[in-house]
Amino acid sequence: MKSKKTIALSLAFLWSFQVIMAQNDPKAVEILAEVSENYQNLNGFSASFEYTYSTEDEGLIQTNTGAVTVKGEKYRLTLNDQEIFNDGNTVWTLIKSSKYKEVTINDVEDDSEELTPSNIYSIYKKGYQASLQGSDQVDGKSVHEILLTSEKEKAQFESITLYIDKAKPELLAWEIQDDIGGKFTYTFKDVDSSVQIKDDYFVFNTQENPDVEVIDLR
């Protein structure tokens, strides 16, 4: 009976130790909270960025550039062959090629695992543990390196590393480790936080684009 109690106490201690270890790093949360508040206080911002995809086996596979405009929960993301419009309620995904154009329309879903331009700076609040890894350099600027680790074993993104400017609470770059061993790296190049953006900028008008095939999945 004594041995059973000893085992039970040992298991309880181990469980409590794991809970303590899984808690967020207070300093990391403090930095992320400042970043989140900074972006929430903006009327919106536009930025250009570079993004790459690589794997451990093949190294660098792809490098591209894009542009993004964010206003609260709304965003418009432009990549090489597609453009995504999100007004907070509806998302339009426009595919553009030399042969055809089509737009797929969906309702915005409240998915805590979905990573978007409008929640990259606040996703640490949902389903991730944050820890400050140390310092690094991004484009000659000194940054905090903060690791977000998914609380779910089979999450779409196992980990996200955020690089926060030490001089001001701004996100300069981030890396995403997916569930198949690939790594996406995004780096902001030019950021304009003084832009004035109308809400209809985040809406794709199908009537004004009659040459685009519409696939409405709502």
Pair 89, 202: CB distance under 8 Å: no
Q: Where are the beta strands (DSSP E) in 36-127?
A: 45-55, 59-71, 74-78, 82-86, 90-96, 101-107
pLDDT tens digits for range 173-182:
999 887 778 8
For 148-157, what is the mean pLDDT? 78
Q: pLDDT tens for residues 191-205? A: 898 888 999 999 999
Running DSSP on this structure, what letter comes out for residue 116? Answer: -
Of 5-9, 114-118, 135-139, 210-214, minimum mean pLDDT range: 5-9
**Tokens 């310092």 sit at which residue?**
135
Is the pLDDT at 168 greater than 90, yes or no?
A: yes
What's 99's DSSP letter?
S
Please provide the average confidence, as pLDDT, over all residues in the chain: 83
Check: CB of residue 125 under 8 Å from CB of residue 151.
no
**pLDDT value, residue 3:** 47
192 contacts 45 by C-beta, under 8 angstroms: yes
Q: Is 14 exposed, middle or buried (0-12, 13-18, 19+ CB in 10 A)?
A: exposed
Q: State the pLDDT at residue 78.
A: 93
**What is the bridge-based pairing of β-strands 213-216 and 157-165?**
unpaired
Q: What mean pLDDT comes out for the span 136-163? A: 87
- Superfamily of chain region 24-216: Lipoprotein localisation LolA/LolB/LppX (2.50.20.10)
pLDDT at 7: 41
Looking at residue 109, the DSSP 8-state letter turns out to be P
Question: Span 155-178, mean pLDDT?
Answer: 88
Q: Where are the domains of the chain?
A: 24-216
Give residue 5's pLDDT: 44
pLDDT above 80 (res 28): yes
The CB density around residue 10, as the number of other CB atoms within 10 Å, is 10
Q: Do 160 and 123 form a contact (C-beta atoms < 8 A)?
A: yes
Answering whether pTM is above 0.85, one says: no
| Residue 11: pLDDT band with limits 50, 70, 90 | very low
Question: In whole angstroms, what is the distance from residue 93 CA to residue 105 CA?
Answer: 7
Residue whose tokens read 């093949």: 58
The whole-number average pLDDT for the span 202-216 is: 95
Per-residue pLDDT, averaged over 68-97, amounts to 92
